[in-house]
Amino acid sequence: MGSLSKRLEEAREAFRGGDKQASALAHDPTRIAEAVEEHGGAGSQYLGEMVYGGLDGIITTFAVVSGVAGAQLGTPVILILGLANLLADGFSMATGSYLSTKSKQEYYRKEWERETWEVENFPDGERAELYEIYRQRGYAEEDAEQLVAIQSREPKRWVKAMMIDELGMLEDEGEPLRNGLVTFGAFVAAGALPLLVYLLGLAFPISPQVTFPVATVLSGLALFALGAAKVMVTKLNPIRSGLEMLVVGGLAAGVAYIVGALLKGIGG
C-alpha cells in the first residue's frame, strides 16, 4: 500500500487541496499499520547529506572558478585551484559529517545511560519530573498521572520518554562513516560540474571564450536542480527552492568573480 513517507505525502497533498476524502483515505487505520511496517526504506536517511553536500560542492567550486576566471589566470590555474578545493573541502565536509553524527550518538548514549540509572535508582523523582512536564504542557492532573503511569510501566519505554520529553533528544540512527562518504560523494560529484568543461578542454579543442559561459550554464542548471531536489527534505515549493539556490549560488560566484577581476593584477 505504500511506505509511511508516501502516506504522509498523500496526507500533505490532501491538506493543501482541502480534500477531506483523500485525507480520510490517507488516515485509514489499515493503511497506516501497513505503512509503518514498510517504513525505513534504504538510503532515505541519507537524502539530506546528498542534497546539501551537493549544493555546498557546486557553490564552493563554482565560486573558485569564477574568481580565477575574473582574474583571467587561465585554465591550468582554474583546474589546480578547483580540483584542490573540491577534494580538500569535500574531505573536510565528510569529516565534519562523520564527527557530528558520531558525537551526537555518543552524547545520546551517555544521556541514555544516565536516565536509565536515574529510573532504576530514583523512580519516584523521575515520575515527578515526567508529571511536571505533562502538567506544563497543559494536561489535567488526572491525565498527567495516567500518562506517567503508562510510560513508567516498561523501563525502556520510560527512559525513552525521559529522553524525548525531558531532554528533547531523538536518537540519530545514521551511520557516521556512511554519512561522511555520502557527503563526500555528493560534494565531489556536484562540485565537479563547473570544472567539467575545463577538463574536457584538456582532450578536445575548446575556445577559452566558451569555457566559462558553459561552466556557468552547467553550474546554474545544477544549482536549480539541487535546489528543487531539496524539497524532498524541506517539502517546500520546488520552483521557488530551485530559484533560491540559483540566486544564492549566483551571488557567491558573482562576488568571487568581482574580487578576482579587481585583484587580477596580483596574479601577473
Q: Mean pLDDT throughout 232-259? A: 82
Give the Cα separation of 112 and 169 in Å (integer).
Answer: 10
Q: Quote the CA–CA distance of 66 and 256 in Å, as a whole number.
A: 6
pTM score of the predicted model: 0.73
CB 231 within 8 A of CB 238: yes
pLDDT score recorded for residue 41: 45
Alpha helices in 162-266 (DSSP H): 176-191, 193-200, 208-229, 231-234, 238-262
Nearest to 219 by CA among 197, 241, 244: 197
Q: What confidence tens digit (pLDDT) does each residue in 167-186 have?
A: 888 888 888 999 899 999 99
Q: Residue 74 above 90 pLDDT? A: no
Question: What is the residue extent of each domain of the chain?
Answer: 1-32, 50-267
